[in-house]
Amino acid sequence: MKTSQKIILLSIIFLYPILFFGSDGSFEKKKFELYSITLSRSSNDGLGKIIITHGKDKAYESTEIDDHYYFGNHFDDHNDDEKDLYSGRDITGKGIPNLVISNWTGGAHCCHFLHIFELGKNLKKLVTVEANSSSIRLIDLYNDGFPEVEFLDGSIDYLFASFAKSPGGRVVLKFKNNQYKVAFDLMRKPTLNQKQFEKIKIKIISAFKKEKSPELPYDFLSSMMDLSYSGQFDLAMKIASETWPSDKPGFLVFKNKFTQALQDSLYWTYF
């Protein structure tokens, strides 16, 4: 190898994270100050692993069969190049750099996790976002320079319809008082006026008439989730009761199951 070629190769090694994909799986490593993060997955047994060391000490390790780990937000549909835009930056406003790791369990419809760590004097995991199969966005909704976490909560997946016809409820998490919390003020929508109320009812009644399968219509479920996750659960139930076909049994069963599914969610709260 020529001297010039060696210089170019060494430059690539020192300027960029180490990334290797071979017959035994994948391996990727990044460093942020004293922290070293290694992500790996074996193609032999499907063992996925994340190891974080602080200096010579191991600060964190997670190992699971079939888990895939990625630097940055791997689930952002709006990020075509999938670069790690956030690790090494302060994304909470505390003045401490953060680490963002995506975690996919390998299932067809599940599961997406986003882990956000704080790379301070001591390593601290701030949150694990459980988004099921939803995409996840880090987006600055407050316009304060620090992104919120936005995704769709799949609390009713498969409950009343197939996966494809089970809409999610929009959730926003905001870092506040040293932790990520549901930002109800960013999720809340204005109460429907009478014209909007009637328009939704007409759409749902039409959807029920067109639905030939045992599943509940997507337009009906979508309205229920949109209203329930925007602070209008009572209005959602009112619309449900007024649009449910008189010749279709099971309204009370739906109401009870739907309410229980929301109450079981990590992210929905009556507000």
Task: Tell me the pLDDT tens digit for each residue of 65-77.
Answer: 888 999 999 999 7
The structure tokens listed for 107 are 């299932």
Q: Give the DSSP letter string of 107-171.
A: -SS--EEEEEEEESSSEEEEEEEE-TT--EEEE-SSSSSS-EEEEEE-TTTTTSS-GGG---EEE
Task: Tell me the pLDDT tens digit for each residue of 120-146.
Answer: 999 999 999 999 999 999 999 999 999
Residues found in the chain: 271
pTM listed for this prediction:
0.86
| Strands, E assignment, 1-75 | 18-22, 25-32, 35-42, 47-54, 57-65, 68-71
Give the domains, in start order, of the chain with CATH numbers.
Answer: 17-139 (2.40.128), 194-264 (no CATH)
Task: Tell me the pLDDT tens digit for each residue of 2-50.
Answer: 434 433 333 333 333 444 444 355 789 999 999 999 999 887 777 999 9
pLDDT given at position 80: 60
pLDDT given at position 22: 42
Q: One-letter amino acid identity for 126?
A: L
Give the model's confidence band at 170: pLDDT under 50 very low, under 70 low, under 90 confident, else very high. Answer: very high
